[in-house]
Structure 1
Amino acid sequence: MSGHRFSPGVVLAERYEVKNFLAAGGMQEVYVCFDRTLEREVVVKTPKAGIKDRRFRRGAEMGARVHHHNVAATFDYYEDADLTFLVEEYIVGLDLGRRLETEFVFMDPSLAAHVIHHIANALHEAHSVDICHRDLKPSNVMTSADASINVIKLTDFGIAKLAESEIAAELELFEQDQSTLTTSNTLLGAVPYMAPECWENWKSAGQPMDIWALGCVAFHLLHGTPPFGSGRQAFMNIAKLLSGSPLQLTRPTWFGKHKNTEALENGLWGIIEACIQVSPAARPQAQDVMRMCQQLCYATAGRKIGTITEYPGTYANGNRGDFGRITDDVARRRWFFHLTEFFGQNGPEQGQRVSFSVYPGVPQDRSAPVLRLRR
């Protein structure tokens, strides 16, 4: 625990007992704590040592105004001369950024639509009470660790206001010395999802910046990378847009290969193109994006994790075909799948890890979709 502000067993404000350190960002440290009063686990977020900013309180107040099942609830806020922290709902799982790094190469259309729809719901709720998140990115979306991603919650409304001051300062430094971009964790994390107007005047950017960021996250889910790259590459690509270069977004190469999801792919791409518009005025409002998501037809069946144990499959006459079988991790059952239901940059191979849903079929139940995983 060396270097962390609090050690296990420390009790904050005579109520919150620190259980363990959870994570750290550019502006905060995060701990899992036990709320002795209500007897539940919570998350405590505190500014890193040396950071003191009234925006932390204002941000916490903003977060507490948003009540929705797709937003991590803000429970409490504490401040005295020596200590500042906010208390937030504890979500067991991983943030979306971590899952993209370690689990998903990209997401199939149904899973991507599921995630995008829930984030859009969260933004609509925030925008409806005149709150702009200002730091929407995969690492600020918490998800349950299950294959179906049943729980999706937007977090860090309380930290976004604190990060705002640092990002604004870093943008000023970047204008003077572009090498600062490589040393700023806060700015580096925000850049791939940062709308063009933020580079011109960060403080005046409003809710349309959240819509741009949602489009970039959606692109990332389907492509496996953000639309304009990361770090310096992202900045240079956005700078070209600001100088008048045409906006060019390329569809994933696998779009159109699966006829049963072609309409869904087109619907998702329509949302991405609507959100990623250089002019803030050209972007839809959150309620419009939510309605666009409601028009999508996507599968929500539960998912399993397994391994491809046979591909290609063999017919009774000994001939091989474009089908195979998956063995799931839990029941150790084998499930049939066809090549047309496989989503991956390379074709199915024995030993590949996949997530999949199962539907009744004759003569065998069918797995669809089958999504290749990193591990």
Structure 2
Amino acid sequence: MIGKVFAGKYKIIDEVGSGATSTVYMARNLDTNQILALKVLSQSSSTDAEFIRRFQREAVIIKNLNDPHIVRVYDFGCQDGIYFLAMEYVDGRPVSEELAKSGKLPLEKALNIAIQAAEGLQAAYRSGIVHRDIKPQNLMLDADGRLRIMDFGTARGGDLSSITVSNVFIGTPYYISPEQAEKGKSADIRSDLYSLGAVLFEMLSGKVPFQGDSAAMVVVKHMTDPVPSLTAQDPTIPSQIDQIVQKALAKDPAQRFQTPEEMRLVLKDALARVCRPAAPSPGVAREMPRPPVPAPPAATATPLLLSLESGQQFSVTVPECAIGRADPERGLYPHVDLQPLDLGRSVSRQHARIVCQGGTYFVMDAGSRNRTYLNQVALTPGQMYPLKDGDELWFGKVKVVFRLR
């Protein structure tokens, strides 16, 4: 499939991921040179009328939604009997991968993800759309931490009729609302908020709210069992957060948040309350905490990256310098191309950035696959770390030294 051109302009250049019914590729629009994602329905699914309807539904629904937290759809078509969807390419990873790597997420990060998801759901709600399959796999984070909601193939709204798969409920058992699972009951936006509550529960605890030996058992627990207390499981989780999750996971939709905006505002208030620094006690002198890394002196020289092994030098000549591996097929040309030093292809195409702010240089990992290290310490993606002359940097397996000449 690599190299194949769809609709005369979408050239496939790499495979991103695949599932039972479709494969997602990175592609380039030959007319505009834009990088995008091309979702291609498998040949077996392309002959299934039900899957084709779902595919068309996703195209129609998302094309009419314009929100920064919903992945954009540009085009839909069929070529040689194969259906495809041209979408926004998100260079990142789903929340499910974050959970698989970390087990659970820090409180502030989990709340930020839930707030962004609620913003996207509010846009869908305004258009009368119910997603019906909110889960970590469908929440994509880019390198900057911005979230997009994906996969509206099971959504319902407007004049679009409901679709089920093989005559069973739509949704994922671990995140499905009671009314969505119960035959004969309709699901509205409050069902999506229930699912988002289940995702938030998992992000904070590392576990889904209800577990069982079978999907049917999990569904029954969603319908009958009380929601476990997050604070009882982990006393470090504030009771205010526990109460928010309990409300989102109420069995009765009337007891939940009624709109995504209502849930977003409550989450935002909680974030401000529980994550802000505590005020000093009366009578205690105010003192700035000592920074974990001494602030380097303001840069007065032009920086460069020096490979001690090869002697090659790479100048940092722009205020925000992209570091990575060039890929002409994808139209990616970082300011500093480490490909000559990267025989093992350990450097990501968009690996890291060196940023100059206020005369000081910082390094930031851009969500690379093989991490960025500063003096042998792994960097948290998306966070900036100050640099000083002589610092050792590892981009994957490529080692360089930061110099101010």
Q: TM-score, normalised by structure 2?
A: 0.62
Alignment of 1:241-256 (within 5 A): 242=223, 245-252=224-231, 255-256=234-235
User: Which residue number corresponds to residue 228 of structure 1?
Assistant: 210
Check conservation: 2:94, 2:137, Cα contact below 8 A.
yes
Aligned: 1:46 with 2:60: no
User: Which residue number corresponds to residue 23 of structure 1?
Assistant: 17
Deviation, 1:159, is 5.9
Q: 1:202/1:168 Cα in 2 relative to 1: closer, same or farther (>3 Å)?
A: farther
Looking at structure 2, the residues matched to 31 and 54 of structure 1 have their Cα atoms a distance apart, in angstroms, of 21
Aligned with residue 286 of structure 1, among 260, 271, 280 = 260
Looking at structure 2, the residues matched to 95 and 112 of structure 1 have their Cα atoms a distance apart, in angstroms, of 13
User: Which residue number corresponds to residue 32 of structure 1?
Assistant: 26
Looking at structure 1, the residues matched to 26 and 33 of structure 2 have their Cα atoms a distance apart, in angstroms, of 13
Looking at structure 2, the residues matched to 241 and 41 of structure 1 have their Cα atoms a distance apart, in angstroms, of 41
| 1:125-162 superposed Cα distances (whole Å, 9 cap, x missing partner) | 11111111111110011112x4xx52211111246579
User: Which residue number corresponds to residue 268 of structure 1?
Assistant: 241
Q: 1:75/1:291 Cα in 2 relative to 1: closer, same or farther (>3 Å)?
A: same
Deviation, 1:329, is 5.0
- Residue 250 of structure 1 aligns with an amino acid whose one-letter code is S
- Residue 131 of structure 2 aligns with an amino acid whose one-letter code is H
Check conservation: 1:113, 1:268, Cα contact below 8 A.
no
User: Which residue number corresponds to residue 67 of structure 1?
Assistant: 66
Structure number with the higher helix fraction is 1
Q: 1:355/1:300 Cα in 2 relative to 1: closer, same or farther (>3 Å)?
A: farther
User: Which residue number corresponds to residue 13 of structure 1?
Assistant: 7
Q: 1:68/1:208 Cα in 2 relative to 1: closer, same or farther (>3 Å)?
A: same
Q: 1:216/1:15 Cα in 2 relative to 1: closer, same or farther (>3 Å)?
A: same
Looking at structure 2, the residues matched to 115 and 129 of structure 1 have their Cα atoms a distance apart, in angstroms, of 22
Alignment of 1:1-375 (within 5 A): 7-51=1-45, 52=49, 53-79=52-78, 82-101=81-100, 103-144=101-142, 146=143, 150-158=145-153, 160=155, 165-167=163-165, 169-171=167-169, 190-201=172-183, 204-229=186-211, 232=214, 235-240=216-221, 242=223, 245-252=224-231, 255-257=234-236, 265-284=238-257, 285-296=259-270, 297=272, 329-332=372-375, 355=380
Q: 1:74/1:299 Cα in 2 relative to 1: closer, same or farther (>3 Å)?
A: farther
SS at structure 2 position matched to 1:14: coil
- Residue 30 of structure 1 aligns with an amino acid whose one-letter code is V
Ranked by relative contact order (alpha carbons within 8 Å, sequence separation 6 or more), the top structure is 1
Structure 2 alignment gaps of length 5 or more: 278-370, 387-405
Check conservation: 2:5, 2:12, Cα contact below 8 A.
yes
Structure 1 alignment gaps of length 5 or more: 1-6, 172-186, 302-327, 335-352, 361-375
- Residue 150 of structure 1 aligns with an amino acid whose one-letter code is G
Deviation, 1:117, is 0.8
SS at structure 1 position matched to 2:121: helix
SS at structure 2 position matched to 1:294: helix
Deviation, 1:203, is 7.5
- Residue 70 of structure 2 aligns with an amino acid whose one-letter code is V
Looking at structure 1, the residues matched to 11 and 385 of structure 2 have their Cα atoms a distance apart, in angstroms, of 46
Q: TM-score, normalised by structure 1?
A: 0.66
| 1:73-129 superposed Cα distances (whole Å, 9 cap, x missing partner) | 11111136713211110001111112211x212112111111111111111111111
Looking at structure 2, the residues matched to 33 and 299 of structure 1 have their Cα atoms a distance apart, in angstroms, of 40
Looking at structure 2, the residues matched to 248 and 54 of structure 1 have their Cα atoms a distance apart, in angstroms, of 36
Q: Is 110-119 or 202-211 further displaced after alignment?
A: 202-211
SS at structure 1 position matched to 2:102: coil
Q: 1:300/1:11 Cα in 2 relative to 1: closer, same or farther (>3 Å)?
A: farther
Deviation, 1:28, is 2.0
Looking at structure 1, the residues matched to 92 and 139 of structure 2 have their Cα atoms a distance apart, in angstroms, of 11
Looking at structure 1, the residues matched to 265 and 59 of structure 2 have their Cα atoms a distance apart, in angstroms, of 29
Check conservation: 1:100, 1:106, Cα contact below 8 A.
yes
| 1:313-335 superposed Cα distances (whole Å, 9 cap, x missing partner) | xxxxxxxxxxxxxxx9533288x
Aligned residues: 281
- Residue 235 of structure 1 aligns with an amino acid whose one-letter code is A
Looking at structure 2, the residues matched to 21 and 61 of structure 1 have their Cα atoms a distance apart, in angstroms, of 24
Larger Rg: 2
Q: 1:359/1:50 Cα in 2 relative to 1: closer, same or farther (>3 Å)?
A: closer
Q: 1:122/1:267 Cα in 2 relative to 1: closer, same or farther (>3 Å)?
A: farther
Check conservation: 1:127, 1:207, Cα contact below 8 A.
yes
RMSD, aligned CA: 3.3
Looking at structure 2, the residues matched to 226 and 31 of structure 1 have their Cα atoms a distance apart, in angstroms, of 30
